[in-house]
Structure 1
Amino acid sequence: MELSDSPAPRAAPMIDGAQVRPIDHLLLRGDPERPALDGRSGTQSYAELEATLGRLAAWLAGFGLEKGARVASWVAKGPVAALMPLAAPRAGLVHVPVNPLLKHAQVAHILADSGASLLIGTASRLATLAPGDVPERCDLHREDDAACAMSGGEALAPSHAAPDELAAILYTSGSTGRPKGVMLSHANLWLGAVSVAEYLKLAAKDRTLCLLPFSFDYGQNQLFSTWFSGGCACPLDYLTPRDVVKAVDRWDITTLAGVPPLWVQLTELDWPADVAAKLRRLTNSGGALTRPLAAKLRALFARADLYPMYGLTEAFRSTYLPPALVDSHPDSMGSAIPHAEILVVRPDGSVAGDDEAGELVHCGPLVAKGYWRDPARTAERFRPAPAASRYGGMAVWSGDTVRRDARGLLYFVGRDDAMIKSAGNRISPTEVEEAAVAVEGIGEAVALGVRDDRLGQAVLLLLRGASPELKAQVEARLRQELPNFMQPREIVMLSEFPRNPNGKIDRVALAKEFAA
C-alpha cells in the first residue's frame, strides 16, 4: 500500500484533445485553501478533503481485496458518500453506489450481480437486509467505521490508473427489467466532468447543491463537474421541497440540478426573491421540460441560466440546449455536448436528413464499457458506430427516435418501445403529454397505450392533481391541438404518480396498473 502526501509526477494521456487523469486526482485541481465540500457535516477545503480521501482509500485498501474487486456503498448523502466514488478507485477497487431509496431485495440483486466483496452502509439500512440478501463472500461494514477512518491515520497516494480501467458500476433503475450495471472507466468519469464543467461554464466561485442520488450518473456528476471547476459541492438529503429553499439560502447556492418532478415541486413553492436570485444555473435531465414548466422556471429564477439536457447512463450525457435558445426553441434537446458525437441514423445505418426521424446514436469517449457480466444485453445496446462516425469504435444505440433540423438542433420524437400504435398510426406519448400540461394547473401527465379490440391500442391519459374543471379544459385543448387519432379514449385523474428511486415517474408501474 503506497502512502504519500502527493502523487508521483506522470504525464496525463490525451483523449479527444483533453488531458485525462485517474478520477481520484480530481480534488488535486482545486485551490487547496478554497472550500470543496460544505453542508450539514461542516466545511472542508480542497487540501482537507484530499487528505480525507486518502485516508478513506487507505482504509479500503486495508481489507486486502484483489485489484478490481467491487465495493458497494449504501450510505447517507454526506462526506462518505461524496468521497467513495474517488476512494474506491484510488484503492484499485470498483465502486458500486446503491441508491438509499432501494429496498433489501433490490440491494440483494445489485450485490449478487456485481459480485461485491464489501458493502458499506448505515446501520439502519444494513439492519433491513434479510437472510440470503448478502452474498457469502461479501462483508458488511457500517458507515460510521468509514467515517472514523477518514478522521485520522495515514493516507493512500493518488493512483496511477489507466484511462480505460474500470472505476465504477452504476445500476440503472430497472424501468425495463432487472437493473443493469453500466461499467464506467476513469476516462468516462473524467471526461464527463470536463464536458459538463465546460458547457455549464462552472467556476471556482460556484456552489452546487447536490440533491440527486450519487448512484445516479447525473447525481454523481454534480460532484465531479463542480470539483473539476474548483467549486464547492453541498450534498443534501432533503425531506421536503422547502428544505431546498432553505439550503439555497443558507449555503449561497449558485447551481441546482434536477429532474422534472422536482422542478414541478419547487415551482409550486413561494421563493423569497433574494433567495431565488442566488441561483445562477439550473440544469435538467431525466425527462424533458414541458413548455409551461420551463416558462415557470425562467420566471421564478430570472437570474439563472436554464440548461435542458438529455442523456442516458450508457453514454452519460448526449445533448444540451444553450440557455439563449430556451425561449426560441423550447422543444429542442439541443446539440451534442463536448466529447460526444450524436448521429441520427436510419434503419440501414445511414445518416438521416434534416427533419427526418431516426435513431439517436451516441459515439465517442463518453460511451461506457458495456453492461457488467451481461454480454447479451451489451450486444443489443452497444454496437459498432455508424460508418459516418468520426470516432468509430463502439457506440450506444439509444432506441430513442429523434429528428435534427437544418441548424443541427435535435428534437425528441419518442422511444420505439414506448410509441402507441393505434389504427396504424404511431403516436408519441410525449406529444400528448405536452399538449395536456400546457393547460395551466396540470402538474404532470402520462400517456399510455392500452389494449383496444378495434384500434389495437388506444390512448389513456393520466393527469396528476387535476380537478373535474381542469379535466374538461384538457379535453378541449386536446381536441383543438391534436388530430382525432391521438385523442385519449379516457382521462384518469390521480392525486400522485409513483416514482422510481431517481425521482422520475415510474411509467412501468403505471403501465402495469392501467394498461394491463
Structure 2
Amino acid sequence: MYLDRTHQHLRVGERYYTPDTLPTSEPANQDAALVNFLRTWWSDDEYMLVQTSGSTGAPKLLRVSKARMMQSARATCSFFELNASDTALLCMDLRYIGAMMLVVRCLISGMKLIVQPTRSNPLLKLEEEITFAAIVPLQAREILRDPTTKNKLSRIKYTIIGGSSLDAELEHELSTLPNGIYSTYGMTETLSHIALRRVSGTDTNPYYTPLEGISVYLSDRGTLCIKAPLITPEPLETNDLAELLSDGRFRILGRSDNIINSGGVKIQLELVEEAIAQLHTAPLALTWRRDQRLGQALILVLEERGGQDKTQLLGSLKSHLPCYHCPKDIIYVPEIPRLANGKLDRKALERIANIEKY
C-alpha cells in the first residue's frame, strides 16, 4: 500500500492526479471539490481539518492526523482485500470524514475512483462497474425505491453504510440483496468506522466486528470504549450503551442520553423502537411527553400510512410488550424527522410530542 503521500496517485475515471500534476486553477468539472481536497492532502501539513456531522451537538472542526487517516484506510482495505484492480464510488460530500476516507482508501490502495454528484440516489446515472462504495442510510432508502438502482446496488461487490443506524425496515430490505452490504460503526473522532457488521445475504449479523488492531471494552456505566492506538492516540469513551461478547464483537443498545425515566422506570428508546419495529412496518420513532404523574410519558411517533387506528394499535402493542414499554399515546406525522445525515432528529421529536395535542 502507498502510505508515503509523496508517492501516491489518484485515478479518477480517465484522469490521473499526482502531487506534481494537480491543476493550478480550479477545474470547471465535478472534480473541483476533489482537487481542493488533494491539494490539502498533498500539502506539507501533516494534519487536516474535518467537520463533524453535528448529530450529537453543534458541528465542529477537528484537526486530524493524515498518518492516522491512512492507518484507518489501511484497515478497511485489508478487511475487503481492496487493491489497484478495484473501483470505488465517491457520492458523498467531501467536507465530511466518510467521503474523505473513501478517497484516502483509493490513494493508499491504488483503486480507481468514480465520482458521482452528492444526491439522494447516487446510482441513477452510474454506468461503471463498482467494487466498493460508501453511502448513508438516506441514500440507501432512495436507491432501494427504484428497481433500476436497486439492481445496480446488488452488483456492487462491497457497500458500507454509515452516518447513522439502520432502521428495521431498511435493514430488512437490504437483507434480501446477495452482495456484501455492511453497516459501519464509528464517528469522526475515530476517522470513519472501527467496526463492521454484514446486513445482506445469508450471513447477516447483529454484532459488529472490530477491524484489525482495534479492541473495545465497556466503561463502568456500560458505554462502549474504543482502543485503536494507530487511529486515536488515547482510548475513546462513547455515549453508546453496548452488549459485548467474549470474542470482542459488540451490539449497540442505544445512546446513554436516549434513556427516559417514566414513573421511576428507565427506558432505552432504541431498544423499544427495535421491539415495536418487529410488530409494525411503518417508519417509527419514540420520544417523550411531559406528564404530571410519570414525569416522562413514552410517546410513539409513526409515519401516517393508513390502516390500524390509534386505539387498536395501542391495544395490540399492550398485548406484545411489557407494560412499561407500551406507549401512552401515538402521534401520526407525514414523515419522521431526521437530521441531514439520516439520524433521527430527537429534538424535533420531543417538540412534536410536547406541543398542544393534535
Same fold by TM-score greater than 0.5: yes
Q: Deviations over 1:469-507 (max 9, x none)?
A: 386786466334431111112222222234433343333
Matched, 1:80 2:32: yes
- Relative distance call for 1:175 and 1:277 in structure 2 (3 A) is closer
Structure 1 vs Structure 2: percent identity of aligned residues? 23
CA distance in 2 between counterparts of 1:488 and 1:273 reads: 35
CA distance in 1 between counterparts of 2:146 and 2:313 reads: 24
TM-score (norm. length: structure 1): 0.61
1:105 aligns with: none
Q: Specify the code of the residue in structure 2 equivalent to 1:37.
A: V
CA contact (8 A) 2:90 2:114 kept: yes
Q: Deviations over 1:128-171 (max 9, x none)?
A: xxxxxxxxxxxxxxxxxxxxxxxxxxxxxxxxxxxxx32x2222
CA distance in 2 between counterparts of 1:406 and 1:253 reads: 36
Matched, 1:282 2:159: yes
- Relative distance call for 1:189 and 1:83 in structure 2 (3 A) is farther
SS at match of 2:63: strand
- What is the CA distance between 1:327 and its match in structure 2? 5.0
Instruction: Report 1:171-320 matches (<5 A).
Output: 171-241=51-121, 244-247=123-126, 250-271=127-148, 275-299=152-176, 301-302=177-178, 304-316=179-191, 317-320=193-196
Which residue of 416, 425, 429 maps to 2:256? Answer: 416
- Relative distance call for 1:184 and 1:273 in structure 2 (3 A) is closer
Give ranges in structure 1 of 5+ residues lacking alignment. Answer: 1-17, 31-35, 61-74, 94-164, 348-357, 369-392
Q: Which has the higher strand share?
A: 2
- Relative distance call for 1:25 and 1:501 in structure 2 (3 A) is farther
Root mean square deviation, CA, Å: 3.2
Matched, 1:37 2:5: no
- Relative distance call for 1:85 and 1:192 in structure 2 (3 A) is farther
- Relative distance call for 1:318 and 1:480 in structure 2 (3 A) is farther
Q: Specify the code of the residue in structure 2 equivalent to 1:343.
A: Y
CA contact (8 A) 2:136 2:161 kept: yes
CA distance in 2 between counterparts of 1:402 and 1:514 reads: 27
CA contact (8 A) 1:344 1:360 kept: yes
Give ranges in structure 2 of 5+ residues lacking alignment. Answer: none
CA contact (8 A) 2:106 2:113 kept: yes
CA distance in 1 between counterparts of 2:234 and 2:99 reads: 25
SS at match of 1:469: coil
Matched, 1:486 2:325: yes
CA distance in 2 between counterparts of 1:513 and 1:273 reads: 33
2:229 aligns with: 365
CA distance in 2 between counterparts of 1:480 and 1:25 reads: 64
- What is the CA distance between 1:465 and its match in structure 2? 4.7
CA distance in 1 between counterparts of 2:28 and 2:257 reads: 35
Larger C-alpha radius of gyration, 1 or 2?
1
SS at match of 1:204: coil
- Relative distance call for 1:360 and 1:239 in structure 2 (3 A) is closer
- Relative distance call for 1:89 and 1:51 in structure 2 (3 A) is closer
CA contact (8 A) 1:499 1:506 kept: yes
How many residue pairs end up in the alignment?
354
SS at match of 1:222: helix
Matched, 1:434 2:310: no
